[in-house]
Chains A and B, each alone.
Chain A
Amino acid sequence: MQSEAANTNPVALQRVRDQWIPTRTELFRHLRPPEADTWLALPASTADESTAWVAKALGGAPGHTGPRLVIETDPQRLAAALAAVPSTQLDEYAPLADAHAASCTGFACLRIDAADNGGMLRIRRRSDGMRDAPLLVVEVAAGVDFTLVEDAGSQATGDPASAMTRNALTSIRVGAGARLRHLRIRREPPANAIANRTVVEVDANGRYDELTLAVGGEYHLERSEIDLVGEAARAESVAVMLAAADQLEQQVEVRHSAPGTRSRVDILVLAANKTRVVVNARTTLPRNVPGAIVDQALHGVPTAGHPRIVLRPHLEILHDQVEARHGATWGALSEDALFYASQRGIDPVEARALIVDGMASALVASCVDDPALLEQAGFASALLDAIAAHVGRKPERA
């Protein structure tokens, strides 16, 4: 288990500083997070934890308000909640997790039960400070099908675009036979330092579909640790990352801890100018879990300038009875496709936008093939706007 909540305890803060990420670590080999004080020293939010979270039901039965968000600020309960977060795949991320624990002052708990089946909830986090360390705990009851939309970007909440750091943790348990679609819209102002860690456990026959749009931030890390703990559990982690003036990293760790489990990681990076983008995908299949199916695909597309894109697919297979595919592709937008669009009278910027949007939309549909749901969740429009901004096109609704 990771460190207990230390809040403003100076000893704990110093311990985080002393044990900060060394210069040479394998996990952060290509993109090192900012120093410890970036996550510890800035003035924290003064907002009441109960007003910092905003939840809105977007679907479900008429009249049903959706699952209730319970806010906890009791230090002992917070410590217990942090201690309960699985840490088997924490690895070299531990200093950032400790920095979170040292700064976290409360948490929100969301229990999704049978009454919420078929519903959708959007959660936003508001912060008035320069430093924020939220914790969200989500439990999806057995057999429930639900969609959770996390809209974490400061731009989306209307917060001032001043620099801030957010070191966030979301802990999710998907019950047996349940399905959670987790749509994450991460649009950050350019000066922000962001580390979002999501830890997920999926029970037998459960399914977790994680769909991420990650844009912006001076330093922006999205990390998912997914453990398929129940037999025949499934998980997908699909992400579209757009980088034009920032440093972006996605880390996905998947562990197949039970037989007959299935996972898919598919990440598209679109990078321009002098950005640096790193994708670390690691899937582990221990000795005692036969019948797993694993798919890992990473794609890097430079859209302009000379970005640095590092794609690192890893499979650790310790069992013979496994079906596994993995690969990484890196290549510019097709010159023939761009010319084809130009030959039809389409402006080059518009042509780029169409082609990039097509690639991204196809990937999104491979995870959540429900245009109405994506529109209702705000994911479709966020993606369209992000692509328009990336290629320099005026946003337009089709």
Chain B
Amino acid sequence: MADQGETILEVRNLAVKAGDRLVLESVSIDIAAGEVVAIMGANGSGKSTLGFALAGHPRYEVVGGEARLAGADLLAMEPQDRARAGLFLSFQSPPDLPGVRNNLFMRTSLNSVLEAQDREPVDAFDFLERAKGIAADIDLPAAFLNRPVNEGFSGGERKRNELLQLAMLAPKLAILDEIDSGMDVDGIRSIVETVGRMRAQGTAFLLISHSLAMVEAMAPDRVAELDGGRISRIGSLDLAREIARTGFSRTRESIEG
């Protein structure tokens, strides 16, 4: 696990296209171990694009800039290698994997990451013990471990399943894309507690959310506003409160002005 204060993510002038559209023009941001940075922005401002681009989704083309994860060139890596290097993306809409058992999927994932770190893979028995413990912590019934990944899950159950994988993989950097959407109050509490525990162990977080309550609950070190394909403002929790009070449109007008 990274030392507190060590820079985990360094993004410089990142430019990203989705199809023919330049969604991110020039994004620069640093996140240190144990830090939480909240990204806010209007719909379509490129928050999810930033997450997908950093994770290496083939639909998003990086056309400029650089990104490093714990000093390594993130953009030179394949998506699976970014994950093995310690980048975790919690999906806004996690897809179904029909017929693929959750426990098999997660154990394959965990062992891929462990093997990349020259660590011993876990066997099915040890994995199940560990998974059941984490599932209990986040109020996800153990029966979900034996169900196909996300198939028939409610919105909140999908997000809890993301949280389960996050806690299992213990990444260096976690990008949480609207992890609170679809979650009930108990789910929100699970997120806050899980993030709190992992943060104390050095995991850095990039939180994407529209909810002031969620942002406040996560007690971010910084809040950044994404607009016009750039980080338009960066500040403390007060910035999130201001955005909640005044909305994004006013901010955009002020930039355009």
Contacts and interface: CB of A to CB of B under 8 A. Distances in A.
Contact of A345 (B84, B97, B98, B101): B84
A354 B95 contact: no
Contact of B98 (A342, A351, A359): A359
B79 interface: yes
Which 10 A-B pairs have CB atoms at the shortest separation, nearest pair first? A358-B99, A362-B99, A358-B100, A344-B109, A345-B83, A345-B112, A342-B79, A345-B113, A342-B80, A336-B95
A47 interface: no
Main secondary structure of the interface of A (DSSP, over half): helix
Nearest to B115: A345
Contact of A343 (B59, B83, B96, B108): B83
A344 B78 CA distance: 12
A346 B58 contact: no
A99 interface: no
B95 A340 contact: yes
Contacts of A339: 57-58, 79
A354 B83 contact: no
16 contacts: A335-B58, A337-B95, A340-B95, A340-B97, A341-B97, A341-B109, A342-B56, A343-B80, A345-B80, A347-B80, A350-B108, A354-B104, A355-B100, A358-B148, A359-B98, A363-B99
A358 B78 contact: no
B91 interface: yes
A334 interface: yes
B146 to A, nearest CB: 11
Contact of B83 (A342, A350, A357): A342
A348 interface: yes
Contact of B148 (A334, A335, A346, A362): A362
B80 A340 contact: no
A360 interface: yes
A329 to B, nearest CB: 13
B12 to A, nearest CB: 23
B80 A354 contact: no
A398 interface: yes
Interface in B161-190: 165, 169
Range, interface on chain B: 20 to 34
Interface of B: 55-59, 78-80, 82-84, 88-89, 91, 94-101, 104-106, 108-109, 112-113, 116, 124, 148, 165, 169
A361 interface: yes
Contacts of B105: 341, 344, 354
B179 to A, nearest CB: 15
Given A335-B58, A358-B100, A362-B99, A344 B148 contact: no
Nearest to B110: A345
A346 B106 CA distance: 10
Given A345-B84, A362-B148, A398-B124, A340 B91 contact: yes
B96 A346 contact: no
Given A335-B58, A358-B148, A362-B148, A346 B109 contact: yes
Contacts of A351: 80
Contacts of A337: 95-97
A345 B99 contact: no
Contacts of A348: 78, 80
Given A339-B79, A355-B100, A344 B95 contact: no
Given A340-B95, A344-B105, A357 B100 contact: yes
Nearest to B78: A342
Contacts of A362: 98-99, 148
Given A340-B97, A348-B80, A362-B98, 6 more contacts: A339-B79, A340-B91, A343-B82, A346-B80, A358-B101, A362-B99
A246 to B, nearest CB: 24
A59 to B, nearest CB: 25
A161 B124 CA distance: 36
Given A343-B79, A347-B80, A360 B97 contact: no
A187 B96 CA distance: 30
Among A344, A351, A355, chain B packs the most CB atoms within 10 A around the CB of: A344
Nearest to A354: B100
A398 B78 CA distance: 26
